[in-house]
Amino acid sequence: MSLASLPSPLHATAPGASSRTVELCDVLTKAVRAAPSTEPAHRTADRVARGLAGFLDHRDLLAPAHLAPDPQRYRQHVLHVDPEGRFSLVALIWLPGQATPVHDHTTWCVVGTYRGTEEETSYRFTRHADGSSALEPVATTVNPPGTVTYLTPPGDIHLVRNGGDDLAVSLHVYGTDVRRHGSSIRRRYDLPV
Ligand SMILES: [Fe+2]
């Protein structure tokens, strides 16, 4: 294969991304591509988390356009999709009170808080023998700027919200191509299951 035919690691970065975002994409690309195909998801996620952690104190990480909120709901800015579809980097922008539905994922997910306070509540889903089901909150964690967490399915049912009074911004790395698949969400638990 010639060098000209190799996909650039920056090939699918969003137009207008800051040079620091481009630098982060390069670090994430190396972290994901270092994974053998048989590597357990938590090992890949842990390596990606360590790569992301080094960028969360950079004030120039996101271009102003990628910090814009939506008054109606939390907003997603897709910053990068790996040309081989192995991961996506998304900035989530939250106004106070904005939250996701209760949901889980099809793939590993690494989350770093960049600004404000992100609050995560995890849930346990139980289906009973009579066909009824229950969704119970298990724990809530408060993640200030600089916090990096990750989850690996199954058992990753959660809800994320802006837990503070100011704008919150978090960086999410998903182990899938969110442009191709729409999102990494497997199921929303506010819908019939
Ligand atoms: Fe999630």
**pLDDT for the residue 4:** 41
**pLDDT for the residue 6:** 40
**pLDDT for the residue 191:** 52
Tell whether residue 158 is among the known ligand binding residues.
yes
Query: d(Cα 51, Cα 11) in Å, to the nearest integer?
Result: 20
Q: Count CB neighbours of 107 within 10 A.
A: 23
| Ligand 1 centroid to residue 157 C-alpha, Å | 8
Phi first, then psi: give them for residue 100, nearest 5 degrees. Answer: -80, 165
- Whether residue 162 is contained in a domain is answered as yes
pTM above 0.75, yes or no: yes
- Report for 3-7, 59-63, 151-155: range of highest mean pLDDT: 59-63
Answer whether residue 189 shows pLDDT above 90.
Answer: no
- Whether residue 173 is contained in a domain is answered as yes
| Ligand 1 centroid to residue 104 C-alpha, Å | 6
Tell whether residue 181 is among the known ligand binding residues.
no
The mean pLDDT value of the chain amounts to 88
The stretch 132-141 carries a mean pLDDT of 90
Q: For the segment 6-42, what is each residue's pLDDT rounded down to a tens digit? A: 444 445 888 889 999 999 999 999 999 988 878 899 9
Coil/strand/helix, residue 149? strand
**What are the CB-based long-range contacts (under 8 Å, 24+) for 126-135?**
133/193, 135/102, 135/189
Query: Which ranges constitute the DSSP H helices of the chain?
Result: 19-33, 41-53, 178-181
Q: How confident is the model at residue 179 (pLDDT cuts 50, 70, 90)?
A: confident
Query: d(Cα 88, Cα 178) in Å, to the nearest integer?
Result: 6
Q: For the segment 147-158, what is each residue's pLDDT rounded down to a tens digit? A: 999 999 888 899
- Whether residue 83 is contained in a domain is answered as yes
- Whether residue 193 is contained in a domain is answered as no
Tell whether residue 103 is among the known ligand binding residues.
yes
| Ligand 1 centroid to residue 67 C-alpha, Å | 19
- Whether residue 182 is contained in a domain is answered as yes
Domain containing 56 equals 3-188
Query: Which ranges constitute the DSSP H helices of 11-157?
Result: 19-33, 41-53
Coil/strand/helix, residue 28? helix
Total of domains in the chain: 1
What letter would DSSP give residue 84? T
| Ligand 1 centroid to residue 52 C-alpha, Å | 17
- Whether residue 31 is contained in a domain is answered as yes
**pLDDT for the residue 118:** 95
- Whether residue 136 is contained in a domain is answered as yes
| Ligand 1 centroid to residue 91 C-alpha, Å | 13
For residue 110, what are the contacts with CB-CB under 8 A and spacing of at least 6? 45, 48, 49, 52, 148, 149, 150, 172, 173
- Whether residue 45 is contained in a domain is answered as yes
Assign residue 86 the CATH number of its domain. Answer: 2.60.120.10
| Ligand 1 centroid to residue 98 C-alpha, Å | 14
Q: Give the whole-number percent of the chain exceeding pLDDT 70.
A: 92
**pLDDT for the residue 9:** 42
